[in-house]
C-alpha cells in the first residue's frame, strides 16, 4: 500500500541524520500545523510540544536521553507533553471549573499528545524526513521538566528525533507481529498456546534474536524484553515518578 509514493510498510526509525541538508524552521512549523489537525478529545488539544534546535540544548537533552545516537545527531528534537495546564488557565480566566484533576483527565491528555505526535511523524516521514521515537523521557521526568521548564500540569511523555536522513541511512522496515496477532473480528478472540507460538515465531527467528539472548545471559527472547529491557524495578520507578506528576 502506497500513499502519494510513501509506503507505510517500508517505514522504520532513522538514527543518523544529514549534516548538510537543512531542516528549516518553516518546514517544521508546516508539519506541526498539519499535525495539529489530528483528532483531539472534545477539540481541547490537551498537549504541547517543545522543539529543541540549539546545538547546546540538543546536547543537554541527548545526555538526558542516555546518549542515544538519534538524540545526539538529530536536526531537531521534539518533546511531546500531556498538557492540562494551558486549558486549566483558560478555564480559570473564564470562571469555569475543570474536572480534569484526576486519572481520567490525564488519560485524555496522554491520548491527545500521542495522536498529535503520530500525525507529525506520518507527515514528516511522508515528506522524506527521518524520525525516531525516544521513550527515555520517563526515565528522568525531573531532569526533563527542569531542562524544558515545564509547569505543573505539563508532563513530558516522549521525544521524537527528526531530520533529513544521512546518506546510506535509509530505514530498515521494522519487524512487527502478523496482523492476526492484533486484529480481532467482532469480538476479542483469546489466544491458545499454539497461537502464541505461531505469532511470535518470526520474531524469535530473526538473525539478531540469538545474539540478544546470548549477550544478556538469558534463555529466551521474552526474557530479554521483560527482564532486561523493561524490568519490573524500572517500571516501578517510572510508575512512582508518573504518580508524582499525574493526578493519580
Look at the block and give the residue holding cell 512549523: 29
Question: Percentage of the chain with pLDDT > 90?
Answer: 90
pTM above 0.85, yes or no: yes
Cell of 97: 471549573
- What does the alpha-carbon distance between residue 242 and residue 245 come to, in Å, rounded to a whole number? 5
Phi, psi of 133 (to 5 degrees): -70, 140
pLDDT score of 2 more than 70: no
Q: Determine the pLDDT at residue 1.
A: 52
Element holding 154 (H helix, E strand): strand 154-163
- What does the alpha-carbon distance between residue 187 and residue 196 come to, in Å, rounded to a whole number? 18
Among 102, 77, 81, smallest CA distance to 145 is for: 81
pLDDT digits (tens, 9 = 90+) for 60-109: 999 999 999 999 999 999 999 999 999 999 999 999 999 999 999 999 99
Going by the DSSP 8-state scheme, the letter that residue 160 receives in this structure is: E
Instruction: Name 78's bridge partners.
Output: 51, 160
- Kindly give, in sequence order, each residue whose CB lies less than 8 Å from that of residue 242, ignoring residues fewer than 6 positions away: 138, 141, 155, 248
- Terminal-residue alpha carbon distance, the chain: 41
Give the length of the chain. Answer: 248
Strand positions, DSSP E, the chain: 47-52, 76-83, 130-134, 154-163
CB-based contact 164:21 (threshold 8 Å) = yes
Q: Determine the pLDDT at residue 247.
A: 77
Q: In what order do the strands lie in the sheet with 154-163?
A: 47-52, 76-83, 154-163, 130-134
Q: Determine the pLDDT at residue 173.
A: 78
pLDDT digits (tens, 9 = 90+) for 114-158: 999 999 999 999 999 999 999 999 999 999 999 999 999 999 999
Q: What is the mean pLDDT of residues 187-212?
A: 96
Amino acid at each position: 500500500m502506497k500513499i502519494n509514493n510513501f509506503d507505510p510498510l517500508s517505514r522504520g526509525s532513522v538514527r543518523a541524520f544529514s549534516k548538510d541538508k537543512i531542516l528549516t524552521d518553516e518546514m517544521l512549523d508546516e508539519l506541526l500545523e498539519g499535525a495539529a489537525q489530528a483528532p483531539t478529545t472534545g477539540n481541547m488539544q490537551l498537549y504541547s510540544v517543545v522543539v529543541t534546535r540549539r546545538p547546546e540544548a540538543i546536547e543537554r537533552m541527548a545526555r538526558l536521553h542516555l546518549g542515544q545516537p538519534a538524540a545526539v545527531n538529530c536536526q531537531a528534537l521534539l518533546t511531546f507533553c500531556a498538557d492540562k495546564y494551558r486549558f486549566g488557565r483558560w478555564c480559570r480566566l473564564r470562571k469555569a471549573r475543570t474536572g480534569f484533576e484526576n486519572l481520567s483527565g490525564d488519560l485524555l491528555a496522554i491520548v491527545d499528545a500521542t495522536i498529535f505526535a503520530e500525525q507529525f511523524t506520518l507527515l514528516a516521514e511522508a515528506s522524506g524526513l527521518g524520525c525516531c521515537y525516544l521513550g527515555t523521557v520517563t526515565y528522568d521526568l525531573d531532569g526533563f521538566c527542569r531542562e524544558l521548564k515545564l509547569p505543573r500540569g505539563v508532563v513530558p511523555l516522549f521525544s521524537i528525533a527528526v531530520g533529513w536522513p544521512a546518506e546510506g541511512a535509509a530505514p530498515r522496515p521494522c519487524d512487527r507481529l502478523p496482523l492476526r496477532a492484533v486484529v480481532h473480528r467482532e469480538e476479542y478472540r483469546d489466544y491458545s498456546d499454539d497461537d502464541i507460538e505461531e505469532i511470535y515465531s518470526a520474531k524469535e527467528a530473526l538473525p539478531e534474536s540469538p545474539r540478544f539472548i546470548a549477550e544478556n545471559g538469558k534463555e529466551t527472547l521474552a526474557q530479554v524484553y521483560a527482564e532486561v529491557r523493561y524490568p519490573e524495578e524500572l517500571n516501578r520507578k517510572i510508575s512512582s515518578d508518573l504518580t508524582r506528576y499525574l493526578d493519580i
